[in-house]
Amino acid sequence: MSSTDPTPHSPTQSRLNNPTFFPQHGLPAGALDTLMKNVKPFSGKPPGPTWDSWKLSLNSTIKDYYPQMATGAQFRLTIALLQDDIRDLVIKAGKDTTEHFEAFIKTTYPSSLWAEYYDMALHSGTLFKGKNIHIACSIGNDAAWQLGGTSHWCTQVTKALLSEFCAHLEQAPHELWNFTDYTAGKMTERFKAITQAVLASQARQAALRTAPGHGPPPLET
């Protein structure tokens, strides 16, 4: 082969450089593009979701759009939707098979990584910083369970959520701060009540801003 001939690339190398290379036969038209618009690639580290949370989100999205998709097609899409470096690692390690993939991912990206992150963020007061109430509740739920799912951690996470949104909870029911007999099983209901209170407060503030006499002063002529 002359030096001017292009160097051939193996199928594996092509797959590494292009997630859309994955065989599309047997997949609904545009399935990969549709899922990529709805599910961010698995990053393998916080603050992104844990593997179990990400996989649940992906499976739910597939079920919504393609309820009849075959298991093999779902697996190929799962590989394609990994972050580039993770997909490279999986393929190079020869773990891109249904037999070895799941165990490899869970061993390489264990939930303990997220537990450590959530622990630090909770104690530094940054767990919910800059998040809206819906995202904050999602993070709080994941954090509580990754930290062990005990009543202690659910209480700590819920108190942190109340603290972060205290400016919107001045008219909220006092029961939101009652942690007597508070257990992990009550957290979802409490988060829902906190969300309703925060949204109600935000709606009141928005109404005040648009009420007559509360807008910006008229420009002088």
Segment 65-116, tens digit of pLDDT: 988 888 999 999 999 999 999 999 999 999 999 999 999 999 999 988 999 9
- Sign of the CA dihedral with 194 first, then 180, 126, and 108 last: negative
pLDDT at 1: 45
Q: Using CA atoms, how far apart are residues 134 and 3, in angstroms rounded to an integer?
A: 58
pLDDT of residue 53: 85
| Cis amide bond preceding 47, omega within 30 | yes
Q: For 167, left (φ over 0), alpha (ψ -120 to 50), or beta?
A: alpha
Residue that wins the pLDDT comparison between 19 and 214: 214
